[in-house]
Amino acid sequence: APIRLRDYRAPAFTIDTVLLDFKLDPVATHLTATLSIRPNSAEAVLGRLELVGDETVLKSVSLDGALLAPGRYHATPSLLVIEDVPDTVFTLTIETIIDPSANTKLMGLYRTSGNYCTQCEAEGFRRITYFLDRPDVLAVYTTRIEARKSEAPILLANGNPGESGDIPGTDRHFAVWHDPFPKPSYLFAMVAGDLGVITDSFTTMSGREVELRIYCEHGKEGRCTYAMDALKRSMRWDETAFGREYDLDIFIIVAVSDFNMGAMENKGLNVFNDKYVLADPDTATDADYANVEGVIAHEYFHNWTGNRITCRDWFQLCLKEGLTVFRDQEFSSDMRSRPVKRIADVRTLQARQFPEDGGPLAHPVRPEIYHEISNFYTPTVYEKGAEVVRMLKTILGPDGFRAGMDLYFDRHDGDAATIEDFLAAFADATGADLEQFALWYAQAGTPQIVAKGQYDANARVYKLTLAQSVPSTPGQLVKKPMHTPIRFGLIGPNGADIAFDEVSGARVEGDVLHLTEASQTVVFGGVGARPVPSLLRGFSAPVRLAIDISAEDLLFQARTDSDPFNRWQAVQTLAMRNLVTGSGDVAAGRSPTVEPALVAALEGILSDETLEPAFRAQTLQMPSEADVAREIGHDVDPDAIAAARKRLRLAVCEGLGNTLFVRYGLLSGGGQFTPDARSAGRRALRNTLLDLMVAGGSRAAITAALDHFETADNMTDRLGALSTLAHAALPERQRALDAFHDRYRDDPLVLDKWLTLEASVPADETLDRIKLLLHHPSFAIGNPNRVRALVGSFAGANQTQFNRPDGAGYDFLADFVLDLDRRNPQTAARLLVSFRSWRALEAGRRARAENALKRIAARDGLSPDTLDIVTRTLA
């Protein structure tokens, strides 16, 4: 049965303290949980206590120290019911037995590389013991861990370390950890094993010394130093940007190799997918460094937005995730280049969230119904959730936003809060009316804004008509207009923004126009020349903007806009128009042509030495095949798109001519590798130029790529060249891929890059190659990183081969998902999301995708995760 937001009830009981006593064993871990429970005044259904489990094995249960006879309780793997409990505080002691080695779902207590580790968000704690496993039950935890010394010399849990020592006369030892901050069960963590460590310390703004540790597999300590540096910068940044100080004596990060998601913010003991911790020049790309920095920051920032203030229920997930993504984006913008970071984030949003919002899996930033909460850790909750917080800041201004955040922290520290609480803090701190704005949390679908401008030279008036509409989405047919902040400027003939002396038709504050009606005509007076409108600067709202603007005006905007984001956007728009027209041409058997304005715009950006190299690289990259498919939106033919894009890149390469080669040459020889954003930007530009050169197909370009690959002294350059070679149809491709594999045969994280490239090759033989690689010693179906690298990148990024006209790509994914579902439902369901845009395909592919989906849906015994995705995808 679905869970609905409107059915929320406070818990009948609450738990004040939890004592966990683990006796670790690879196949039979014993846990004694001692819970201090109290009826929750008004809500208690007196006498009957229900605790949830999930494949949980009960050994015994005692109430106030007395063992309960079997008749006093009822236990199944998913529920423990105890009748006639006292109507005052009482102690329940529950003994469970856990087999961590058999846990392939990677939820609850499991093993990774011989170590013990836990993942409890969202509903994993119930796989450890029966509990009120919901985020509005906040308890103080004490954890005692006992294990064989040889097996697990390191014993970790949340909070501050307490007593520890050997157990006399045995080969075992123990450690006790105490976390004084009340927390929900999803933030519990325990890690034990034989691990390497690096240590450091941080002095907080009030002068408290915090011990910092990062644990990893032995031998990888040297790859943890960048993460440690990022952690210290995150801690300082949260103090200066938000006034938030760390609160325990110690902060621990553990990197593990088997992990369903990116990382987890367990109080004082963050557990990470090792790909977001480990980085060194030989094995990590610049993108990896940026991801490590961003995820380290994200999890650390959760200490306040997520842990000190948590969520009342899982519908409020964006309360912590959207806000924390916003905070990590801001951190990275401050550490690196703000415009470059913004463009990267918007590209991710458009590539991942827009298709979700426009397909069968669309849901509001705050959903109102779910079957399986694991399927709601989505781009909508995370990335669109962050955009909503960003809009709030745009609407309130930096000071109003900070005042609202301060009040939120002040008012709700220690609470399990809601979106209403969050918005009330901003409304109360600033006096703003956020009622209409709140629709951003409730209405799914990407709003479309249609803009039309008209200049009257005689009246010196510029009229801008803005119409907004939110498309229908599953369960939401009719939508209301939203409060949408449009940052804008009117660019005058000399390239600077024109001043206007009056405005009517909309509230305009500084450079922000507040769109609140379905349609508004904004009249600017005293405008001395025809302006080029620059709308949605910095992508001030997560919308699609359609604007009637000529290629000449876009070229002008690409050259002059004072907003770097919109300079990038102007080039993207030009390129997109070319690609959409070109795809139509290819489909109709015509040869596509390339607009001279596009080549001129690219040339201008490439040669503008005042622009940072990273920005120039982003601009030269142009929309992906998937971007074009999304823009076309119906009857998509991925082969026509790929052909048009190939043709366009060839023409751009010819148009830019020797400039490409000259600029490429100038960027060579950067000296000693450093991972900072500046150096990374140079590498990004150089690799982008190389890729465009090879798109031209000349022998000289291919030679340059091979040379680039062989002489690279860092992973960014090596992988950049390899990716270029892999995507071009060259005889050299397989030899280069093999060489890369052989060089890194013992490094699983690097081999993921190789698997990804193998899966991304746009050639007919790729699917057979992938089927072969499933049996390669470097692949392991039990490891989510391997699965995502090989199968996830095939289904998610290889447009022509996943969408083969014969449907073999769909059949392969269906078979793989069915197989994986029995082992790891969360990861299986995640892969299945690759079908989310199936209805936008042309009829032949659409029918084949539907067949594959129906075959999955017909299978008996699907996990709730996969059943939920397949049902909604087909609905």
Quick one: which segment of 262-270, 284-292, 574-582, 798-806 binds ligand ARG (CB under 6 A)? Answer: 262-270
Residue 616 binds which of Zn ion, ligand ARG, none (CB < 5-8 A, kind-dependent): none
**Smallest distance, ligand ARG to C-beta of residue 377, A:** 4
Partner from ligand ARG, Zn ion, none contacting 625, C-beta within 5 to 8 A by type: none
Contact mark string toward Zn ion, 285..324, x via CB under 5 A: ------------------------------------x--x
Burial class (CB in 10 A: 0-12, 13-18, 19+), 223: buried
Nearer to ligand ARG by Cβ, of 210 and 263: the residue is 263
Q: How far is 12 from 45, CA to CA, in rounded Å?
A: 6
Q: Near ligand ARG by CB under 6 A, which window of 258-266, 307-315, 448-456, 561-569? A: 258-266
Compute how many residues bind Zn ion; rule: CB under 5 A. 2
What, of ligand ARG, Zn ion, none, does residue 566 touch, CB below 5 to 8 Å by kind?
Answer: none
Calpha distance 371→61 (Å, rounded): 30
Residue 257 or 324 having the CB closest to Zn ion: 324
Q: How far is CA 583 from CA 628, 635, 844, in A?
A: 9, 12, 18
Residue 121 binds: one of Zn ion, ligand ARG, none (C-beta under 5 to 8 A by kind): ligand ARG
Within residues 61-120, the interface with ligand ARG by CB under 6 A covers 119
377 near ligand ARG (CB under 6 A): yes
Nearer to Zn ion, 273 or 324 (CB): 324
Q: Which residues of 133-160 are buried (b: 16+ CB within 10 A; e: fewer)?
A: bbbbbbbbbbbbbbbeeebbebbbbbbe
Task: Pick the closer one to ligand ARG by CB: 260 or 619.
Answer: 260
Q: Is 439 left (phi over 0), alpha (psi -120 to 50) or beta?
A: alpha
Closer residue to ligand ARG (CB): 308 or 753: 308
Give the nearest distance from C-beta 263 to ligand ARG in angstroms: 6
- C-beta separation of 536 from 511 below 8 A: no
Please identify which residue in 143, 260, 310, 798 interacts with ligand ARG, judged by CB under 6 A: 260
Nearest 10 degrees: Cα torsion 857, 862, 868, 869: -60
Ramachandran region, residue 254 (left: φ > 0; alpha: ψ -120 to 50; beta: rest): beta
Structural Rg of the chain based on CA atoms: 28
Residues 313-342 that bind ligand ARG (CB under 6 A): 321
CA separation, residue 588 to residues 456, 592, 595, 633 (Å) = 41, 10, 19, 18
- Active site annotation includes 299: yes
Binding mask 317-336 for Zn ion (x = CB under 5 A): ----x--x------------
Closest approach, Cβ 119 to ligand ARG, in A, equals 6
Residues present in the chain in total: 875
Site membership for ligand ARG, residue 263 (CB under 6 A): yes
- Name the residue nearer to ligand ARG (CB basis): 572 or 826: 826
712: cis peptide before it, omega within 30°? no
Q: Residue 331 touches which of Zn ion, ligand ARG, none (CB < 5 to 8 A by kind)?
A: none
Picked from Zn ion, ligand ARG, none, the partner binding residue 444 (CB below 5 to 8 A depending on kind) is: none
Q: List the Cα angle 354/359/364 in 5-degree steps.
A: 70
**What sign results for the dihedral spanned by CA atoms 472, 474, 477, 480?**
negative
Please report how close the Cβ of residue 107 comes to ligand ARG at its closest, in angstroms.
6
Which residues does 780 contact at the CB level (< 8 Å), separation at least 6? 786
Closer to ligand ARG by CB, 108 or 281: give it. 108
Question: Shortest approach of ligand ARG to residue 124 CB, angstroms?
Answer: 7
Residue 258 binds what, of ligand ARG, Zn ion, none (CB under 5 to 8 Å, by partner type)? none
Classify residue 766 as left (phi > 0), alpha (psi -120 to 50) or beta.
Answer: alpha
For the CB of residue 189, give the shortest distance to Zn ion in the complex, in Å: 14
Whole-number minimum distance, CB 123 to ligand ARG, in Å?
Answer: 9
Within residues 808-837, the interface with ligand ARG by CB under 6 A covers: 826
- Least distance from C-beta 303 to Zn ion, angstroms? 11
CB atoms within 10 A of CB 727: 18
Residue 264 interacts, among Zn ion, ligand ARG, none and using kind-specific CB cut-offs from 5 to 8 Å, with: ligand ARG
The smaller minimum CB distance to ligand ARG, of residues 382 and 838, is found at 382
User: What is 730-763 written as a DSSP string?
Assistant: -THHHHHHHHHHHHTTT-HHHHHHHHHHHHH--S
The values of phi and psi at residue 424, to 5°, are -60, -35
Of positions 305, 374, 534, 687, contacts ligand ARG by CB under 6 A: 374
Q: Single out the residue of 620, 449, 427, 404 nearest to residue 539, CA to CA.
A: 449
Per DSSP (E only), the strands in 685-802 are none
Q: What is the DSSP letter of 313?
A: S
Which amino acid does the sequence have at 487? R
By C-beta, is 262 or 604 nearer to ligand ARG?
A: 262
Sign, CA torsion 800/806/809/813: positive
CB of 17 to ligand ARG, least distance (A): 24
Single-letter residue type at 5: L
Scanning the structure block, which residue is given the tokens 């909508």? 380
* Nearer to ligand ARG among residue 319 and residue 641 (C-beta): 319
Token match 């000259």: residue?
662
Q: By the 8 A CB rule, do 253 and 213 touch?
A: yes
DSSP-derived secondary structure letter, 54: S
Q: Which of 123, 299, 625, 631 is catalytic?
A: 299
Residue 377 binding: pick among ligand ARG, Zn ion, none (C-beta 5-8 Å cut-off by kind): ligand ARG
Least distance from C-beta 125 to ligand ARG, angstroms?
12
- CB nearer ligand ARG, residue 130 or residue 301: 301
The DSSP letter of residue 113 is: T
| Exposure string for 405-424, b = 16+ CB within 10 A, e = fewer | bebbbeebeebbbbbebbbb
Binding test (CB under 6 A) with ligand ARG, winner from 25, 54, 121, 821: 121
**Which of Zn ion, ligand ARG, none lies near 122, with the C-beta cut-off 5 to 8 A by kind?**
ligand ARG
Say how many residues touch ligand ARG, by CB under 6 A: 14
If one counts every other C-beta atom within 10 angstroms of the C-beta of residue 846, the result is: 15
Smallest separation (angstroms) from Zn ion to the CB of 270: 10
Min dist CB 749 to ligand ARG, Å, is 20
Q: How far apart are CA 303 and CA 312, in angstroms?
A: 16
Contact region with ligand ARG (CB under 6 A), list: 257-265, 445-453, 549-557, 616-624: 257-265
Run of H or E residues at 574: helix 564-587
Question: What residues does 63 pair with on adjacent strands?
Answer: 66, 92
Is the CB of 56 or the CB of 714 nearer to ligand ARG? Answer: 56
Candidates 24, 98, 122, 231: give the one binding ligand ARG (CB under 6 A).
122
Among 146, 179, 299, 691, interactor with ligand ARG by CB under 6 A: 299
Rounded to whole angstroms, the Cα distance separating 52 from 129 reads: 8
Binding of ligand ARG by 258 (CB under 6 A): no
Q: Which stretch binds ligand ARG (CB under 6 A): 260-268, 427-435, 782-790, 845-853?
A: 260-268
Catalytic positions:
299
* Site residues, ligand ARG (CB under 6 A): 119, 121-122, 260-261, 263-265, 298-299, 321, 374, 377, 826
* Site residues, Zn ion (CB under 5 A): 321, 324
